[in-house]
Amino acid sequence: MNKNITKLFLAFIIAILPAAIHAKTIAFVGAQNLSGNSAYDYLGAYIEGVILFDISNVKDITIVERSRLEKIISEQQLLAAGLTAEGREKQSIHIGRLLAADYLVSVDYTMVGSEASFTLRLADTATGAVRVFSSRGSTENDIHSLAEGLAKALSGKDHVFVNKAEKRNLLTLRDMTPGSVTLYCNLVNAEILLDGKFAAYSKGNLYAPLQIPDIDPGTYTMKIRLSNDFGMVKLPEFTFSDWEEKITIKPGRATVLRSVIRHFNDVIYEHSRLLDGDYQLTDKNSKIRTEKDVSFIDRTGKTIPVKFTLSGTRTGSGSTAECVLQYEGQKHILKISKESPEVKKKIGKIKIEFKLDTSGSQKDKISLDITRTDIRQGMHRE
């Protein structure tokens, strides 16, 4: 009797063993839009839904629950796109073990004309090896074909998910309700361009926005152009261009922007004057001493250390002043007096003007101006 039970048990184990050996567990880590246009983000969830529905019908494949997957990925601070990137094999193995998954599945997609191009990656969490499946088209069947390839790779069997009668176009799923732009801009009558095409003129009122309606959903480059004197300055290089920004228009929604655009010469003036200092000597306050660091970053990105110490004295015979300046560690001494009231000197990438004004009867004035010479007014027109 016991022998018969044992034989039956062994027969049962042998019968189910092949299924146990070939059963696979997968984790779908996401679908990433590589088109550069957020208007196609909606396809990510759709792709995931179709593939998971198809694979759920394959009895030899188990899918990791979405809630558990999101928890693990969040804890590990990983992006789905990074799990199968080059050099991430160890990371895929680590995450696979945490999920108790044999494989990680991810999909990248982009738009090629009126079609979508799909790339499915299947990462083996035991070895880190990656298999790639591709598909291209505009219907749901193009996603089903990816699922068919995935199912065969995992189960070793052919599965049919493509429905030839299904002609639903993926792009018709997209919400094309027009959006709009609400723009606050300080320039008057500047041209506003979307992807190089004229859209409107600016009003020049930061408190009364301009509305640009009826814009198809998608990602655009907005440019605001008035003349060659207004726009953006890239620091520290001091390169000049029109104001420009990437914007995303969402279906039926307004995108709000604030654009404060300055005259290039104003920006140059602001950064060129390292010091504009006036100091007074009187009978009551007959001595002064001050020091300051006026270091700056030049156009190559190099920090130029500049420090100075200024001292001055007023006596009955006349005022005198001295400026000890250190430029990149080198000391330079400049002196002024009633007899020699002005010194101008260029040192490296700066210019110094040191003056003494004794024309007042009650006070003498010392002026110390330090300006950069590697930037100048009007350089944006050169």
- Per-residue pLDDT of the chain in tens (382 residues, 90 and over written 9): 455 554 444 444 334 334 334 568 998 888 999 988 877 888 888 899 899 999 999 988 998 887 777 766 665 555 444 444 444 556 667 777 778 889 989 899 998 887 899 999 998 888 888 899 999 988 888 999 999 999 999 999 999 998 877 666 776 666 668 899 999 999 999 999 999 999 999 999 889 999 999 998 888 999 999 999 999 999 999 999 999 999 988 888 899 999 999 999 999 999 999 999 999 999 899 999 999 999 999 999 999 999 999 999 998 888 999 999 999 999 999 999 999 999 999 999 999 999 999 988 789 999 999 999 999 999 999 8
- Decide: helix, strand or coil at residue 216: coil
2-173 is classed in which CATH architecture? 3-Layer(aba) Sandwich (3.40)
Q: Which residues of 151-188 are buried (b: 16+ CB within 10 A; e: fewer)?
A: beebbeeebebbeeeeeeebeeebeeeebbbebbbbbe
CATH (one of 2.30.140.10, 3.30.1490.20, 3.20.20.80, 2.60.40.10) for 179-260:
2.60.40.10
pLDDT in tens, 326-363: 999 999 999 999 999 999 999 999 999 999 999 887 89
Note the pTM of the prediction, 2 decimals: 0.57
- In the chain, where the domains are located: 2-173, 179-260, 268-381
- Decide: helix, strand or coil at residue 315: coil
| Matching fold, domains 2-173 and 179-260 | no
- Decide: helix, strand or coil at residue 176: coil
Candidates 183, 202, 182; CA nearest to 192 is 202
